Amino acid sequence: MEKIPVSIITGFLGSGKTTLLSKLLNSDELQNAALIINEFGEIGIDNLLVKSSVENTLLLENGCVCCSIRGDLSDTISGLFSQVENQDIPYFDIILIETTGLAQPGPIIQTVQTDISINNRCRFDKVITVVDTLAIEQQLRLHQEPSTQIIQGDIIYLSKTDIAKNEKIKNAHNLITTLNPTASIKDKLNATEVRESIISLHLQNHCFVCGHDEHSHQHEHLVIDENHTSSFNNCSLNSETPLDKVSFLRWLSTLYSFYPLSILRLKGFVRFKGTNESFLIQAVGPVFSEIQRLETNNNSTPETSVVLIFKDLNSEEIKNSFSHRVLNN
């Protein structure tokens, strides 16, 4: 049985999650989605509400199922499946989880990845982070949560670009790219694009840092102003030749054993010896997703390219360790 994809929509207070979700819920593309939110009142769905079919569960006009978390997340998700089996709510093929403005995606991802009752039926897919184009610079300066939400995001949706000057939009892109070079930044995000990105496991051979084809590039440390420098850093690990699988996985295991709280994000393509296929490997915090075989549009196979985002570690030491423990084997 194919597992149901679970994606998270997060973003700091006032970033525009409500606006994005309202657009998604009003669309035909996501009519078979189940939406899990913390509080109904935060999302402005009164105009979409048709009826309450079961306690804590709402059926929206377009067919979406919407429920609130009043206990454990695993109980909430398991309850949704039970309600489908009892024919209390319609079948759903996507689960979207909306976090509060001060939440971090990591614990939710860990629950989806490690809870057997969920993992047997669901797979974690991606984090969509909503960022306020007008306020991002100030928020990064004053609060820790926006940085983590951006770092752990796969897709970064910039809100309020319609009222922002080009300089503000460009600055937001630069700040996000420096924090998370693996993210795809979108000035606009529609329901069709969200659904296709969630359902499809197909990945293009492109640069994680800026979404372009292969080329050389560098990214500097994030500096908000002269009195505030982010402790976050990132580095790229690349190899034009296939890696020894055992050496690479052993090196990753050692790295995470020594620094389980320092590595915030890992994502990349890996090509192993003895196969013509490449694999997608990614982790949020210490929680790894299942390694996925990579499909490509052509016969070419991407070289190994892995991006690590971390804090309080030295990028050169990580690169040297990778070279010594993996590339030289």
Q: Looking at the domain assignment, is residue 171 inside a domain?
A: yes
Please tell me the distance from the alpha carbon of residue 258 to that of residue 252, in angstroms, as a whole number.
Answer: 10
Q: Looking at the domain assignment, is residue 67 inside a domain?
A: yes
Give me the pLDDT at residue 194, please: 75
Q: Looking at the domain assignment, is residue 194 inside a domain?
A: yes
Residues 194 and 248 in one domain: no
Q: Looking at the domain assignment, is residue 207 inside a domain?
A: no
Give, for 166, the enclosing helix (H) or strand (E): helix 166-179
Residues 9 and 114 in one domain: yes
Pairing of strands 65-68, 33-37: parallel
Range of the domain at 237: 223-327
Alpha-carbon distances of 249 from 110, 195, 264, 272, 325, rounded to whole Å: 20, 32, 18, 11, 10
Residues 141 and 29 in one domain: yes
Residues 176 and 258 in one domain: no
Residues 149 and 96 in one domain: yes
| Cα distance between the two ends of the chain | 39
272-325 pLDDT tens trace: 999 888 898 888 888 888 888 876 544 555 689 999 988 889 999 999 999 999
What's the CATH code of the domain at 75?
3.40.50.300
Mean of per-residue pLDDT scores for the chain? 78
224-278 pLDDT tens trace: 333 333 567 889 999 999 999 999 999 999 999 999 888 888 888 899 999 888 8
Whether the CB-CB separation of 37 and 65 falls below 8 Å is answered with no
Alpha-carbon distances of 180 from 23, 98, 208, rounded to whole Å: 26, 21, 9
| Angle, helix 17-25 to helix 191-199, in steps of 10 degrees | 80
- Name the more confident of 210 and 89: 89
- Work out how many domains the chain is built from and give that number: 2
Please tell me the distance from the alpha carbon of residue 288 to that of residue 286, in angstroms, as a whole number.
Answer: 6
Give me the pLDDT at residue 300, please: 55
Whether the CB-CB separation of 85 and 45 falls below 8 Å is answered with no
Residue 81: phi and psi, rounded to 5, are -65, -40
Residues 232 and 185 in one domain: no
3-49 pLDDT tens trace: 999 999 999 988 988 778 777 777 777 778 888 876 544 444 444 44
Whether this model's pTM surpasses 0.85: no
CB 65: neighbour CB atoms within 10 A? 24
Q: Looking at the domain assignment, is residue 210 inside a domain?
A: no
HSE value, Cβ hemisphere, 13 Å, CA-based, for 160: 16
Q: Looking at the domain assignment, is residue 133 inside a domain?
A: yes
